[in-house]
Chains A and B, each alone.
Chain A
Amino acid sequence: TLGFIVTPMQQATTWVKSGVRNTFGYFSDNQKIRQQNEAYENELAALQNENFALKQMDVENKRLRQMLDFKRTNAQFELVGANVIAKDSSNWFQKFTIDKGTNDGLTKDCAVINHQVLVGSIYDIGLNYAMVSAIIDDSSAVSALVVRTKDVTMLKGDLTLQKQGLCKLTYIPRDADIIPGDVLETSGLGGRFPKGLLIGRIKEIGKENAEYYNFAQVEPAVDFKRIEEVFIIKNSPQVVKQ
């Protein structure tokens, strides 16, 4: 009988007690949650930064691995890696400076490449630097071979095309069966560039009425706006002679 009377009272008291506890607990828990939230936000920011750095390292790792694989599969070339440290002071030229020079065994006219793609050649050199003229520069000229048709032509830089990152293929015979999309590589003629280095693709073909030869716009395989690292073929004149 006593239990019959006391039990509801105990229930009511417990109900009141839990209500009060929950109310006070709400405020103290709120502060704890806020602190926890701040800690999680800081941890998230740190992890996001770390993730970004890791992604950058992954991209660089892939790029360097490609360059290393290229070096291994082209053992006949003595390759020296270099960084691009400066561009030409003028907007008219497509030339840049690298951080290797005669101290590293380089000489004038050495071919400069990037993942087996021709970039240009050294036109001036110092002890610890060299100046490279890109193939899209107005002063550049490379003997090029159309891979599909075996036509030998001349690739030149052009002032009206270099801003778009393009260059001009000249001395295309009128009867040559060249079409947009044809791949170009170095022919090895001229004594400066080894044979077989990829240059780019033909983008558009043009005809000049007064000229015997046709010409074409060429899109190089290398993006000159984003070039950061290159390889120099130290022994390119010797390789050409072979």
Chain B
Amino acid sequence: MRIFITAVLVLFAFVFQTSLLDVIQIGNIRPNLVVMVIIQIALLRGYYEGGIVGLCAGIVMDIMTGRIFGAFALLCMLIGLLSGGFHHRIFKENFLSAMMFTFVFINVYEVLFYIFQYFVWGQHQFSYAFMQYVLPTAIYSTVISAPIYMLLYRINEWLLARENDYF
């Protein structure tokens, strides 16, 4: 049940990000919903599940964007593993700490993306890329992460209650 619900959440996040978030873009910047969901699931469930969710979400993005297979998968898995490492160090009820981690790890994700997509191929416009792409994406994603985290937290609590009843 947990696997099914997580898969549906990631799929919905991807579909919304590619089809619907266009409507709320500000200055050509859309929030990164998929990476936000990966980070928040990792914070709630730990690095093991965060890494797997990141890997699977990244594979979906690789298939649907038609570029080099594995790039998104590895990057998202890394973000899932890193953010899952803080699973035992946050108050999960407090959405502000989730927002803070979302901001930090989306920055990490976008910087790594820029490095592997542009910097290693000779495009050295880091300050422009950071100010025009990385930071605005992180800020916008953080602003909308609070309701998303509350939803994921409630779903996680419901699933935990079901699993405790089952066992």
Q: Is the CB of B133 within 8 A of A91?
A: yes
* Cα(A195)–Cα(B113), bound, Å: 36
Q: A-facing mask of B25-40, CB < 8 A → 1, else 0?
A: 0011110101000000
Return chain B residues, CB-CB under 8 Å to A209.
Answer: none
Q: Report if A88-B18 is in contact (Cβ < 8 Å); known contacts: A131-B66, A159-B125.
A: yes
Q: Is the CB of B133 within 8 A of A92?
A: yes
Return chain A residues, CB-CB under 8 Å to B15.
Answer: 86
Q: Is the CB of A85 within 8 A of B19?
A: yes
* Cα(A91)–Cα(B17), bound, Å: 10
Q: Is the CB of A86 within 8 A of B18?
A: yes
Q: Is the CB of B129 within 8 A of A88?
A: no
Q: Does A56 count as interface, using CB distance less than 8 angstroms?
A: no
Q: Which of B105-159 contact A (CB under 8 A)?
A: 113-114, 117-118, 123, 125, 128-129, 132-133, 137
Min CB distance B74 to A, Å, is 15
Q: Is the CB of B113 within 8 A of A89?
A: no
Return chain B residues, CB-CB under 8 Å to A138.
Answer: 118
Q: Is the CB of A89 within 8 A of B137?
A: no
Q: Does B93 count as interface, using CB distance less than 8 angstroms?
A: no
Q: Report if A163-B27 is in contact (Cβ < 8 Å); known contacts: A85-B19, A91-B133.
A: yes
* Cα(A225)–Cα(B30), bound, Å: 13
Q: Mostly helix, strand, loop or mixed at chain B's interface? A: helix
Q: Is the CB of B14 within 8 A of A89?
A: yes
Return chain A residues, CB-CB under 8 Å to B29.
Answer: 91
Q: Is the CB of A159 within 8 A of B118?
A: yes
Q: Does B65 count as interface, using CB distance less than 8 angstroms?
A: yes
Q: Does A149 count as interface, using CB distance less than 8 angstroms?
A: no
Return chain B residues, CB-CB under 8 Å to A225.
Answer: 28
Q: Is the CB of A91 within 8 A of B123?
A: no
Q: Does B22 count as interface, using CB distance less than 8 angstroms?
A: yes
Return chain B residues, CB-CB under 8 Å to A23.
Answer: none
| Smallest Cβ-Cβ distance to A88: which chain B residue | B65
Return chain A residues, CB-CB under 8 Å to B14.
Answer: 89
Q: Which of B19-70 contact A (CB under 8 A)?
A: 19, 22, 27-30, 32, 34, 61, 64-66
Return chain A residues, CB-CB under 8 Å to B128.
Answer: 159-160
Q: Is the CB of B18 within 8 A of A95?
A: no
* Other-chain residue from B19, B28, B118 in contact with A86 (beta carbon distance below 8 A): B19
Min CB distance B120 to A, Å, is 14
Q: Report if A90-B125 is in contact (Cβ < 8 Å); known contacts: A85-B19, A163-B132.
A: no
Most buried by A among B18, B34, B61, B125: B18
* Cα(A201)–Cα(B66), bound, Å: 31
Q: Report if A89-B125 is in contact (Cβ < 8 Å); known contacts: A97-B18, A124-B66.
A: no
Return chain A residues, CB-CB under 8 Å to B113.
Answer: 90, 92
Q: Is the CB of A159 within 8 A of B123?
A: yes
Q: Which 3 A-B pairs have the closest CB atoms?
A: A124-B66, A86-B18, A131-B66
Q: Which residues of B contact A (CB under 8 A)?
A: 14-15, 17-19, 22, 27-30, 32, 34, 61, 64-66, 113-114, 117-118, 123, 125, 128-129, 132-133, 137
Q: Which residues of A contact B (CB under 8 A)?
A: 85-93, 95, 97, 123-124, 131, 138, 159-160, 163, 225
- Other contacts beyond A89-B18, A163-B28: 5, CB < 8 A: A86-B15, A87-B19, A89-B65, A90-B32, A91-B32
